[in-house]
Structure formats: structure tokens, C-alpha cells
Amino acid sequence: MPLPRFTTLALIAAALLVSPSLSSASSDKAEDLARIEQQGLKSTGNLRLKELLTQPQTVSAGSGVTFTRGWVDAQPKPKRSDEWRCLAEALYFEARGETVKGQFAVAEVIMNRVKSKRFPGSLCKVINQGTGKKYQCQFTYTCDGYAEVIAEPRAFARVGKIARAVLDGRAPELTEGATHYHTTAVNPRWARVYTRTARIGQHLFYRHTWRSASN
């Protein structure tokens, strides 16, 4: 980003706990679905997640995704939905100044949270978790006291296409199951014990597994 006020989960005082992501490999999909079924699909968010997991997904280098603005701009106007809007807004306020690859990575973290038992089961609920308590939310832009104004429509159009690609299961895995991230400008306490999985652009990515512990 040009590191706007809304850059990172790490600026929030509460370090937020989550579990590793679901595997993107098709052989693991049955296990993922079984776990969701076991939880009783207790929310419409989990029903949406089940729908996402059962869709054909290409999550490899052969997916056709390239991390360039040219590729993004060439994508069709995205199909809209409430979940799409929540994800697109999160990418806009959290990562619009990042590289395209960095924006995909931030979206992946949000999706990994949806898939985790430690977080709510829908994109909108994950993104708005804790909103209403100033600086105690999961995503700073939702609780910093400032209005969420989309002042750069071209940037929003781009992140909207990225959000659609992620929702449609087209994006390759980038973060090895990360469920947390922070910008390189800060050093949150939890980063010392969580497992770092990737550095992409201005963000470092982590999985909620203690170092030296197995997943």
C-alpha cells in the first residue's frame, strides 16, 4: 500500500487466534467438508463456505492467474454479492496500495480465517468481527472511527476483480495457510511466536501455530 491508516491486522491490540488453513489440494477437500459438516454448518456463512469448497477449483500455476495489473484489468466485471462486497472492501482498505500478488495474499488470509474454527464462518462476519469497539476489531478500518469512503474507484474496480477470482477458487495458494499478517513497518508481539509463512510486498504472513509445533 501507500500504507494508509488501514494497513494491517497487527495494529490491533488484541492478537487474534486462528488455526491453519484448509488445504487447497483436491484430496484434502473431502476432509475439509467433513469437518464443516461435523460443525453442523451452523451459519449461512458455513453454507457458503461449503459451496465454495465444492466448486471446481484450480489453484495451481495453471489457473490462468497472473499477478499483474494487466491481467486484472482484462477480467470481466465481477458478479456481485454481499460476500464479494465485504471482501472487495477489505482489500481496498487493507491492501489497495499493495502489489497484485500482495492483494491476492491478503484475500487468501481472509478466506483462511473463514475456513478456520477459530473465526466466524462467513467473509462479512470475519471482516467485521469486533467492529463497534474502537481499535479492538480484526481489521482496523472497520473500527478506527473514520468513515469508509471509496475515493479511488479504479483501485476498487481492481480489487473487486481480485475478490471475485478468489471467491471463484481461481487463485493459487500463496501463504501456506496464513491467518495473520502485518506490514513490515510494525512488529507485533504475536509475530514472535507464530509461524511465519511468507513475505509478499509490504506484508509478512503467519500461521497460528507455535514455532517448533506441528500443524
pLDDT (tens place) for every residue of the chain, 215 residues total: 444 443 333 333 333 333 333 233 333 444 444 443 444 333 334 444 444 443 433 333 446 899 999 999 999 999 999 999 999 999 999 999 999 999 999 999 999 999 998 888 899 999 988 766 677 787 888 888 888 899 999 999 999 999 999 999 999 999 999 999 988 888 888 888 899 999 998 899 999 875 444 43
pTM: 0.67
CA dist list (Å): 192 to 7, 14, 32, 196: 20, 15, 29, 9
User: Which residue shows C-alpha cell 464443516?
Assistant: 36
- Cα distance between the two ends of the chain: 31
Distance CA 20, CA 71 (A): 29
- Residue 28 grid cell: 484434502
- Residue 37 grid cell: 459438516
